[in-house]
């Protein structure tokens, strides 16, 4: 039975999606995709983006628009270019020798690769959380205060800013009596929420997350997933995940990438489709998406 989920803002569905995707059952009742979405316009757009590592074309055909205050998930098989695309959105890929971007990536209307663009400002406004929690070997407080200090942010009270960031990252109650303690003494899940607090502290508009739960246990993972929902009230979130259930749980929009070999055997990633998560998991437009989601490939 085809279960097509309408995507207008009034719809809530309690069904489990089986549709054309028998391999993965997605509980749309708990999917953020099924929630009302009030779109507030595009923040990042990618027009015909290609990314090379030296001569190797890693990913192409990237045409995407990310809306403000939405969670968008990038999914697809290993090597299809998800992390590469994510890193290009805040010019983190500039740090990889030989990496080169063609096409246009605009943030709030400005070409982020354009002449005269302040890369540090791009990275402040578009923050990033990595796969492995990577707190600095400093106190909890100093981890959060680090960004505002190095960017010389005008701050009325650093204590208030640190508290606010830790609260938004849902870790304040666990660390408030130990702010001078070492960040490295926290659990993995706490460290990752601390890294989210550190990213928030510089007041970004977008947070990129590259497999933020892959090093965490299921309970810590659920905490981060819950956190994403509340963070999306204030920030735009773009997450790379291998976990399709997670994409369905946390995102309103999902992009599916794949990798196809050319005549020389070089595998180049490409964006296949990017649509409402409910639609992607119940009635995708492209058969490659359906094959991946149903577990028949990838």
**Interface ranges with ligand ATP (CB under 6 A):** 53, 58, 76, 78-84, 96, 242, 269
Q: Residue 113 or residue 141: which is nearer to ligand ATP going by CB?
A: 113
d(CA 209, CA 289): 22
Q: Residue 145 or residue 250: which is nearer to ligand ATP going by CB?
A: 250
User: CB of residue 171 vs ligand ATP: minimum separation in angstroms?
Assistant: 26
d(CA 87, CA 281): 25
d(CA 85, CA 100): 11
258: CB partners within 8 A, 6+ apart: 76, 77, 80, 269, 270, 272, 288, 292, 298
Per the document, the length of the chain is 298
User: CB of residue 82 vs ligand ATP: minimum separation in angstroms?
Assistant: 4
Q: Residue 84 or residue 283: which is nearer to ligand ATP going by CB?
A: 84
User: CB of residue 180 vs ligand ATP: minimum separation in angstroms?
Assistant: 36
92-117 exposure pattern, b = at least 16 Cβ within 10 A, e = fewer? bbbeeeebbbebebbbeeeebbeeee
Q: Residue 96 or residue 150: which is nearer to ligand ATP going by CB?
A: 96
User: CB of residue 53 vs ligand ATP: minimum separation in angstroms?
Assistant: 3
């Amino acid at each position: 039975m085809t279960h097509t989920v309408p995507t207008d803002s009034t719809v809530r569905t309690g069904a489990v999606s089986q549709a054309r995707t028998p391999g993965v059952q997605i509980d749309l009742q708990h999917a953020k995709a099924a929630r009302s979405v009030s779109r507030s316009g595009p923040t990042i757009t990618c027009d015909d983006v290609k990314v090379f590592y030296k001569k190797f074309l890693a990913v192409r055909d990237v045409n995407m628009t990310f809306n403000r205050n939405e969670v968008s998930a990038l999914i697809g098989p290993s090597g299809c270019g998800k992390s590469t695309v994510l890193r290009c959105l805040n010019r983190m890929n500039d740090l990889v020798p030989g990496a080169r971007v063609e096409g246009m990536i605009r943030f709030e209307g400005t070409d982020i690769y354009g002449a005269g663009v302040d890369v540090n400002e791009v990275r402040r406004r578009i923050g990033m959380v990595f796969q492995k929690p990577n707190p600095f070997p400093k106190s909890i407080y100093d981890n959060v205060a680090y960004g505002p200090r190095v960017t010389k942010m005008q701050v009325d009270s650093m204590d208030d800013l640190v508290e606010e960031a830790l609260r938004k990252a849902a870790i304040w109650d666990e660390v408030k009596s130990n702010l001078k303690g070492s960040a490295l003494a926290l659990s993995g899940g706490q460290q990752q929420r601390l890294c989210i607090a550190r990213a928030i502290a510089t007041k970004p508009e977008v947070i990129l997350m590259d497999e933020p739960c892959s090093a965490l246990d299921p309970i810590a993972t659920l905490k981060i997933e819950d956190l994403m929902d509340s963070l999306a009230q204030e920030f735009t979130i773009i997450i790379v995940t291998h976990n399709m259930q997670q994409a369905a749980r946390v995102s309103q929009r999902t992009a599916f990438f794949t990798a196809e070999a050319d005549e020389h055997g070089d595998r180049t990633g490409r964006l296949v489709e990017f649509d409402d998560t409910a639609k992607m998991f119940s009635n995708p437009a492209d058969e490659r998406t359906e094959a991946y989601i149903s577990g028949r490939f990838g």
